[in-house]
């Protein structure tokens, strides 16, 4: 029986990234995927007629350009095009727009508050400063502060050095930033409720926390540090949907001789004498490998696919306590035409932007209250985009695909599984929210796919359907991600590695965990490194 | 509610119709959201209008604030590093303002219009910061950029033009003085200020009278060589005068992301605007410490050998065998009036004392090919261009 050098479990973008870099180093690699399609949560699905849905992740900006370049993803069909702006519709019939053009943005903010318009400059600079601090460490393994290995000490000194480079005031500012709530952070700059509400969404997306919860300022940063072609903070669409990302990485993997197997769900990771030897598939088949690399989230990997007796008990307990709470749902909608929004003037560029429907901090926080009560937000935060205004490949001409990310939506309803009626009711809540601002919207709906976190868990496999494979709070970041002592992509069993977003630097279709894991694996195997370094900014 | 939408394009100043009528190049750029000409017919000739006759530049997009109230003087005094109690009504002061770390947020001019009433003109927008600074003061800050149309009227014949317009009394106006006169029933404020280092004035009026003011000015200036100019010519004159520009000689401190990229007034040659005798002003503690400890950077005016402008050049201590640069050029130009190769730059102390020699690495291109020259440069302490007429009161007819 054939023994692979490495078996990668899960063909999402991170699993494929690890697989590609290992294959390019000359390893014999197989990547197994439980579904009959690849991509995990970076996927394009054809679920209705000629429509293509990015039915999980829907925008692309954090994907590391270093990885894109190294794997030559453009040769494998990936093209990311930027789009601009956002709009927040208000209950009084007005709206607040964020425009791509600085001067138009300034005028728009002045419409609400000149104070806030001028404060935007300092806000952007202060936020960008924090981005720069963390960005440098995305494409490297988080150093372990308790370790005396030269590589850890070197990385720690780099972080320390970056920190000490700052002036006193900025050091204080940085430490405060990492623990603050997004609401407090915005309060330091802005006085206008709708402006704060518009900016606060980035602090809670994918996170089971409210805008007033400590740690949400960091989540804002996580959304701010993306880039498209060097334009930090820019967002883009992958042409053809987010599946194009996974497909391109899979192309690079296969071009390097890698083997991809779908409908090959892993039942167990096999451990013999304290070392992994392969995986047992759900269909009973066994695949042998010297290494097993799990792209599944940390809970699914250890609690579902391994025996507790093979794992250290402290580690097992910590994995059980890892926070990976489902907080977001998704509606994917096929539209017969472009909806109009009452508040927007004809020809407004904002139709191309992210649309939101909560105009106050109070409503943002109330939306979270429903989640705490074990149900979906009755007045939900929706991040809605119409990618087909930008991408002609996802719907027939004149027709549109609308992606609605919905916060908050619990993994279970009051502690039990969702019923079909509840899923429908959740979908109706979201559709009603949008229809409040677009009278012709409902009539244009041809098909809607409604996905609760439970559906995402059932279909993709992510525990509780948490989009980041675990929350991005300080206790679960850097050397604490996923659990202390295991933050360098190595599991507690010999030959077992982790490469999913439960690991540093977390989720967001960055492909960084996958790349970092490959670098560590190749170092352990004493193979030449194929993973690129951070481009750096200075 | 009808859909509202802010203007999506660049705005026109109240003088736009007149500038567009004189414009032949159709070469525009954006200045704080407004359409502004780079040049109208020829930047070189426009420059000579500044130095030889009268140049008119539309400075309406300049950020303007009105500060009023019983505590206006105390407020302004706390805001800037300079002693503003010495600036009486009818006088104008160049000033810088700093954050608490003593780093320059911006520079600008403060017009003491009347008792308890000031206009602050700046390169950048500061409403959030100016508002935050009002706490504890009985003072109102109002943004008035679009409420005031403004023209710079600069050059040796500029007084003659104003005189021909019917304002001979402006001959008594000293540099940094201001006066209110009547223009067709509206109040016209005239200040003897400018950004060219030459004899010159700035005219401030309500936007509704802007076109009439322009017409009257050009009618009066017909025999005195009056010409409208764009930003390119002004930029040349500004370097000759040794004036600073935001984003060239300094970055507004609240916009800097990297540590050490901002500058203090002491690092910009503006010690004379910092008055430590004032007990309280923004940045005082940090600046007092810097004055004791010594600054990191120094702004230098350089007289460079040869005739190739030192755009974007590194500055070195020696002509060769340098381990690293001591600084870099921030603005450079060939000065047609001085026939000098001039530049402003920022160097690390202790380098760059007046009279010092430094070396500037100049790259220049001739017919596609690039050449490199290490040019000797002398640090000078006076503006490159400072004609006697700039200070003469009353100004001569020239």
pLDDT of residue B1: 54
Alpha helices, H only, A445-511: 453-460
Q: Residue A268, class by beta-carbon neighbours within 10 Å (0-12 exposed, 13-18 middle, 19+ buried)?
A: middle
CB B114, CB B172: distance < 8 Å = no
pLDDT of residue A249: 98
The encoded tokens of residue A29 equal 């690699």
For residue A448, the distance in angstroms to the closest alpha carbon of chain B comes to 29
- Give the one of A118, A169, A345 whose C-beta lies nearest to B5's C-beta: A345
The pair phi, psi for residue A11, each rounded to 5°, is -100, 45
pLDDT of residue B38: 98
Strands B340-348 and B327-335 turn out to be antiparallel
Tens of pLDDT along B368-398? 999 999 999 999 999 999 999 999 999 988 8
Looking at chain B, which residue has its C-alpha nearest residue A124?
A: B255
Is the minimum CB–CB distance between A189 and chain B shorter than 8 Å? yes
Q: Is there a contact between B1 and A343 if contact means CB atoms under 8 Å apart?
A: yes
- Give the one of A111, A121, A346 whose C-beta lies nearest to B254's C-beta: A121
* Inter-chain Cβ pairs, chain A and chain B, closer than 8 A: 73
A120, containing H or E segment: helix A114-135
pLDDT of residue A233: 67
Q: Is there a contact between B131 and A189 if contact means CB atoms under 8 Å apart?
A: no
For residue B38, the distance in angstroms to the closest alpha carbon of chain A comes to 19
The encoded tokens of residue B31 equal 């200045």
Looking at chain A, which residue has its C-alpha nearest residue B99?
A: A169
Domains along chain B with CATH numbers: 16-60+148-241 (3.30.1360.120), 63-143 (3.30.70.1400), 296-382 (2.40.30.110)
CB A9, CB A261: distance < 8 Å = no
Q: Is the pLDDT of residue B10 over 80?
A: yes
- In this prediction, the residues of chain A whose per-residue pLDDT falls under 50 are none
- Give the one of B30, B254, B257 whose C-beta lies nearest to A103's C-beta: B30
pLDDT of residue B73: 97
Q: Is the pLDDT of residue B103 over 90?
A: yes
CB B152, CB B196: distance < 8 Å = yes
Report helix, strand or coil for B224: helix
Is the minimum CB–CB distance between A125 and chain B shorter than 8 Å? yes
pLDDT of residue B305: 98
The rounded radius of gyration (Å) of the Cα atoms in chain A is 22
pLDDT of residue A9: 98
Distance CA A319, CA B214 (A): 75
pLDDT of residue A320: 97
CB B294, CB B303: distance < 8 Å = no
Tens of pLDDT along B50-80? 999 999 999 999 999 999 999 999 999 999 9
pLDDT of residue B398: 80
Tens of pLDDT along A114-132? 999 999 999 999 998 888 8
Q: Is there a contact between B5 and A114 if contact means CB atoms under 8 Å apart?
A: no
Distance CA A467, CA A456 (A): 9
What residue has token string 């700035």? B202
pLDDT of residue A215: 92
The pair phi, psi for residue B11, each rounded to 5°, is -85, 160
A447, containing H or E segment: strand A445-451
CB A203, CB A211: distance < 8 Å = yes
Tens of pLDDT along B287-346? 999 999 999 999 999 999 999 999 999 999 999 999 999 999 999 999 999 999 999 999
Q: Is there a contact between A121 and B4 if contact means CB atoms under 8 Å apart?
A: no
Residues of chain A positioned with their CB less than 8 A from the CB of B61: none
Q: Which has the closest alpha carbon to A462: A425, A411, A512, A496? A: A411
Distance CA B234, CA A385 (A): 46
Q: Is there a contact between B125 and A132 if contact means CB atoms under 8 Å apart?
A: no
Residues of chain A positioned with their CB less than 8 A from the CB of B32: 103
What residue has token string 């720069």? A132
Q: Which has the closest alpha carbon to A471: A324, A276, A259? A: A324
Q: Is there a contact between B127 and A114 if contact means CB atoms under 8 Å apart?
A: yes
With the CA atoms of A477, A478, A483 and A488 taken in that order, what torsion angle do they form, in degrees rounded to the nearest 10? 150
Query: Which segment of A165-179, B250-264, B319-333, B351-365 scores lowest on mean pLDDT?
Result: A165-179
Q: Which has the closest alpha carbon to B221: B205, B200, B235, B240? A: B200
What residue has token string 């943004």? B143
Q: Which has the closest alpha carbon to A380: A429, A332, A418, A331? A: A429
- Give the one of B5, B32, B255 whose C-beta lies nearest to A121's C-beta: B255
Residues of chain B positioned with their CB less than 8 A from the CB of A112: none
What residue has token string 């930047």? B43
Check residue A286 and report its DSSP letter. Answer: E
Looking at chain A, which residue has its C-alpha nearest residue B256?
A: A125
Q: Which one of B1, B2, B6 makes the best mutation probe of the A interface by having the most chain A beta carbons within 10 Å? A: B6
User: What does the pLDDT average to over B232-245?
Assistant: 98
For residue A129, the distance in angstroms to the closest alpha carbon of chain B comes to 5
Touching B: A residues 435-494, CB under 8 Å: none
Residues of chain B positioned with their CB less than 8 A from the CB of A104: 6-8
B199, containing H or E segment: none
CB A381, CB A406: distance < 8 Å = yes
Distance CA B248, CA A363 (A): 44
Is the minimum CB–CB distance between A187 and chain B shorter than 8 Å? no
Q: Is there a contact between B33 and A116 if contact means CB atoms under 8 Å apart?
A: no
Is the minimum CB–CB distance between A193 and chain B shorter than 8 Å? no
CB B343, CB B309: distance < 8 Å = yes
Provide the phi-psi class of A245: left if phi over 0, else alpha when psi is between -120 and 50, else beta.
alpha
Report helix, strand or coil for A378: coil
The encoded tokens of residue A125 equal 């600079």
Residues of chain A positioned with their CB less than 8 A from the CB of B259: 165-167, 170
- Chain B interface residues (partner A, CB cutoff 8 A): 1, 3-8, 10, 30, 32-33, 100-101, 125-129, 131, 143, 252, 254-259
Check residue A142 and report its DSSP letter. Answer: P
Is the minimum CB–CB distance between A100 and chain B shorter than 8 Å? no
pLDDT of residue A170: 84
pLDDT of residue A169: 82
CB A503, CB A337: distance < 8 Å = no
The pair phi, psi for residue A45, each rounded to 5°, is -120, 140
- Give the one of B3, B32, B100 whose C-beta lies nearest to A343's C-beta: B3
For residue B213, the distance in angstroms to the closest alpha carbon of chain A comes to 28
Global pTM value: 0.94
- Give the one of A94, A104, A117 whose C-beta lies nearest to B1's C-beta: A94
Looking at chain A, which residue has its C-alpha nearest residue B8?
A: A104
Report helix, strand or coil for B253: helix
Distance CA A514, CA A522 (A): 12
Report helix, strand or coil for B179: strand
Q: Which one of A87, A115, A191 makes the best mutation probe of the B interface by having the most chain B beta carbons within 10 Å? A: A115
**Cis preceding-peptide flag for B36 (omega within 30 of 0):** no
The encoded tokens of residue B293 equal 């400890």
Distance CA B370, CA A24 (A): 41
pLDDT of residue B2: 64
Tens of pLDDT along B123-172? 999 999 999 999 999 999 999 999 999 999 999 999 999 999 999 999 99
Is the minimum CB–CB distance between A527 and chain B shorter than 8 Å? no
Distance CA A276, CA B243 (A): 71
Is the minimum CB–CB distance between A134 and chain B shorter than 8 Å? no
- Give the one of B1, B8, B254 whose C-beta lies nearest to A93's C-beta: B1
The Cβ-side half-sphere exposure at A449, using a 13 Å CA radius, reads 23
Q: Which one of A118, A119, A125, A190 makes the best mutation probe of the B interface by having the most chain B beta carbons within 10 Å? A: A118
Distance CA A4, CA A91 (A): 59
Is the minimum CB–CB distance between A169 and chain B shorter than 8 Å? yes
- In sign, the C-alpha dihedral spanning B98, B103, B105, B106 is positive
Q: What is the ipTM of this complex?
A: 0.93
pLDDT of residue A296: 98
pLDDT of residue A146: 87
B341 CB-near residues (< 8 Å, 6+ apart): B303, B304, B305, B306, B307, B308, B309, B310, B334, B335, B375
Residues of chain A positioned with their CB less than 8 A from the CB of B255: 121-122, 125
What residue has token string 């059932």? A458
Q: Is there a contact between A122 and B255 if contact means CB atoms under 8 Å apart?
A: yes
């Amino acid at each position: 029986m054939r023994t692979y050098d490495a078996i990668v479990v899960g063909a999402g973008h991170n699993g494929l990234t690890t697989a590609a870099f290992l294959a390019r180093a000359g390893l014999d690699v197989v990547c197994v995927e439980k579904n009959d399609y690849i991509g995990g949560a970076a996927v394009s699905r054809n679920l209705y007629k000629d429509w293509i849905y990015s039915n999980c992740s829907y925008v692309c900006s954090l994907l590391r350009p270093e990885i894109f370049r190294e794997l030559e993803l453009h040769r494998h069909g990936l093209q990311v095009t930027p789009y601009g702006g956002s709009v927040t519709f208000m209950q009084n019939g007005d709206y607040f727009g964020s425009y791509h053009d600085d001067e138009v943005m300034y005028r728009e903010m002045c419409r609400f508050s000149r104070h806030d318009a001028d404060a935007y400059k300092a806000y952007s600079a202060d936020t960008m400063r924090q981005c720069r601090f963390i960005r440098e460490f995305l494409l490297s393994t988080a150093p372990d502060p308790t370790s005396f290995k030269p590589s850890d000490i070197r990385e720690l000194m780099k972080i320390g050095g970056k920190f000490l480079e700052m002036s006193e005031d900025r050091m204080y500012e940085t430490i405060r930033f990492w623990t603050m709530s997004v609401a407090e952070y915005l309060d330091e700059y802005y006085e206008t409720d709708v402006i704060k509400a518009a900016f606060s969404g980035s602090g809670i997306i994918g996170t089971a926390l409210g805008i007033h919860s400590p740690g949400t300022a960091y989540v804002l940063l996580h959304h701010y540090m993306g880039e498209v072609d060097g334009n930090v903070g820019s967002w883009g669409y992958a042409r053809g949907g987010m599946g194009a990302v996974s497909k391109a990485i899979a192309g690079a993997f296969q071009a390097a001789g890698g083997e991809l197997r779908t409908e090959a769900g892993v039942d167990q990771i096999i451990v013999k004498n304290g070392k992994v030897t392969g995986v047992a598939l759900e269909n009973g088949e066994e695949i042998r490998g010297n290494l097993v690399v799990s792209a599944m989230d940390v809970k699914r990997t250890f609690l579902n696919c391994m025996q507790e007796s093979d794992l250290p008990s402290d580690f097992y307990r910590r994995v059980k306590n890892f926070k990976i709470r489902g907080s977001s749902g998704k509606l994917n909608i096929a539209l017969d035409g472009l909806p109009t929004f009452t508040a927007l003037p004809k020809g407004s560029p904002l139709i191309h932007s992210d649309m939101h429907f909560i105009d106050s901090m109070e409503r943002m926080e109330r939306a979270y209250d429903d989640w705490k009560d074990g149900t979906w937000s009755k007045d939900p935060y929706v991040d809605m985009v119409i990618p087909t205004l930008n991408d002609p490949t996802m719907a027939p001409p004149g027709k549109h695909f609308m992606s609605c990310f919905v916060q908050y939506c619990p993994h279970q309803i009051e502690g039990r599984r969702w019923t079909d009626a509840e899923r429908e009711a959740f979908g109706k809540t979201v559709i009603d929210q949008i229809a409040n601002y677009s009278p012709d919207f409902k009539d244009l709906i041809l098909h809607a796919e409604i996905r609760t976190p439970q559906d995402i868990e059932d279909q993709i496999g992510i525990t509780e359907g948490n989009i980041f494979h675990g929350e991005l709070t300080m206790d679960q970041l850097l050397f604490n991600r996923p659990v202390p002592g295991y933050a360098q992509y190595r599991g507690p069993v010999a030959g077992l590695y982790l490469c999913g977003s439960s690991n540093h630097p977390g989720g967001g279709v960055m492909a960084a965990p996958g790349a970092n894991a490959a670098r560590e694996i190749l170092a352990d195997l004493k193979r030449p490194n194929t993973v690129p370094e951070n481009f750096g900014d200075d | 509610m009808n859909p509202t939408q802010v203007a999506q394009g660049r705005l026109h100043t109240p003088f736009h119709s007149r500038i567009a009528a004189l414009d032949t190049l159709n070469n525009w750029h954006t200045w704080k959201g407004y359409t502004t000409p780079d040049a109208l017919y020829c930047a070189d000739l426009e420059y000579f209008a500044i130095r030889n006759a009268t140049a008119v530049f539309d400075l309406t997009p300049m950020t303007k604030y009105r500060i009023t109230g019983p505590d206006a003087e105390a407020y302004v005094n706390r805001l800037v590093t300079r002693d503003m109690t010495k600036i009486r009504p009818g006088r104008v002061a160049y000033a810088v303002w700093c954050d608490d770390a003593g780093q320059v947020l911006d520079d600008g001019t403060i017009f003491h219009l009347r008792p308890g009433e000031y206009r602050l003109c700046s390169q950048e927008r500061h409403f959030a910061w100016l508002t935050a600074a009002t706490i504890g003061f009985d003072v109102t800050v109002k943004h008035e950029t679009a409420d005031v149309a403004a023209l710079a009227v600069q050059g040796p014949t500029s007084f003659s033009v104003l005189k021909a317009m019917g304002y001979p009394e402006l001959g008594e106006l000293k540099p940094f003085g201001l006066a209110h006169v009547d223009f067709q029933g509206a109040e016209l404020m005239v200040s003897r200020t400018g950004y060219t280092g030459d004899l010159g004035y700035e005219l401030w009026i309500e936007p509704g009278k802007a076109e009439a003011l322009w017409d009257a000015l050009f009618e009066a200036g017909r025999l005195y060589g009056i010409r409208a100019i764009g930003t390119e010519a002004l930029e040349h004159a500004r370097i000759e005068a040794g004036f600073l520009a935001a984003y060239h000689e300094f970055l507004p401190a609240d916009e800097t992301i990297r540590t050490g990229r901002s500058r203090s007034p002491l690092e910009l040659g503006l010690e004379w605007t910092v008055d430590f005798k004032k007990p309280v002003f923004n940045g005082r503690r940090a600046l007092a410490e810097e004055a004791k400890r010594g600054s990191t950077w120094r702004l230098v005016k350089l007289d460079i050998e040869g005739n190739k402008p030192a755009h974007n050049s590194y500055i070195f201590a020696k002509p060769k065998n340098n381990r690293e640069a001591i600084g870099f050029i921030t603005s450079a130009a060939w000065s047609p009036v001085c026939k000098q190769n001039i530049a402003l730059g920022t160097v690390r102390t202790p380098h760059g004392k007046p009279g010092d020699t430094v070396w500037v690495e100049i790259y220049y291109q001739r017919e596609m090919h690039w050449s490199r020259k290490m040019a000797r440069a002398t640090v000078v302490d006076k503006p490159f261009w400072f004609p006697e007429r700039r200070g003469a009161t009353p100004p001569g007819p020239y």
